[in-house]
Amino acid sequence: MSEEPVLTSPARILSVNGDINPSRRALARQGNLIAVASGKGGVGKTWFSITLSQALARYGNRVLLMDGDLGLANVDVQLAMSPEHDLASVVAGKIALTDAISAFSGGAARSAGDKAPMQRAGMGFDVLAGRSGSGALDTLSRKQIEALCGDLIRIAVQYDHVIVDLAAGMNGHMMPLFARIGKALIVVTDDPTSITDAYAMIKFLATVHPELDIRIVVNMAESKMQAEKTFGAVHRACEHFLHFTPTMAGYVARDKHVTHAIRAQAPLLARYPQSEAAMMVQQIAESIQTSGPRGLI
Ligand X SMILES: Nc1ncnc2c1ncn2[C@@H]1O[C@H](COP(=O)(O)OP(=O)(O)O)[C@@H](O)[C@H]1O
Residue 100 vs 187, nearer CB to Mg ion: 187
CB-wise, 32 or 46, nearer to Mg ion?
A: 46
Residue 197's CB is within 10 A of a number of other CB atoms, namely 29
By the rule CB under 5 A, 89 interacts with Mg ion: no
**One residue of 30, 32, 46, 54 binding Mg ion per CB under 5 A:** 46
C-alpha 208/C-alpha 202 separation (Å) is 10
Cα torsion 107, 46, 202, 59 to 10°: value is 40
Backbone phi, psi, residue 38, to 5°: -160, 160
When CB distances are held under 5 to 8 angstroms depending on the partner's kind, the choice from ligand X, Mg ion, none that residue 174 binds is none
Of the candidates 118, 124, 69, 135, which has an alpha carbon nearest to the alpha carbon of residue 102? 124
3-state secondary structure of 42: coil
Q: Which of these segments, 4-12, 38-46, 87-95, 210-218, binds Mg ion (CB under 5 A)?
A: 38-46
Which one of ligand X, Mg ion, none is in contact with 292 (Cβ closer than 5 to 8 A by kind)?
A: none
Q: Closest separation between CB of residue 75 and Mg ion, Å? A: 8
53 binds, among Mg ion, ligand X, none (CB under 5 to 8 A by kind): none
CB of 220 to ligand X, least distance (A): 5
Query: Which of 149/220 has CB closer to ligand X?
Result: 220
CB of 95 to ligand X, least distance (A): 26
Q: Which does residue 251 bind out of Mg ion, ligand X, none, counting CB within 5 to 8 angstroms by kind? A: none
Question: Which residue type is seen at 141?
Answer: S
Question: By rule CB under 5 A, what count of residues binds Mg ion?
Answer: 2
Chain residue whose CB lies nearest ligand X: 44
Q: Is 218 helix (H, G, I), strand (E, B) or coil?
A: strand
Q: In whole angstroms, give the CA distance from residue 242 to residue 259.
A: 36
Pairwise CA distance, residues 89 & 162, whole Å: 20
Q: How many CB atoms lie within 10 A of CB 207?
A: 13
Binding interface with ligand X (CB under 6 A): 38, 41-47, 219-220, 252, 254-255, 258-259, 262, 277
SS3 of residue 156 by DSSP: helix
Least distance from ligand X to the Cβ atom of residue 187, Å: 6
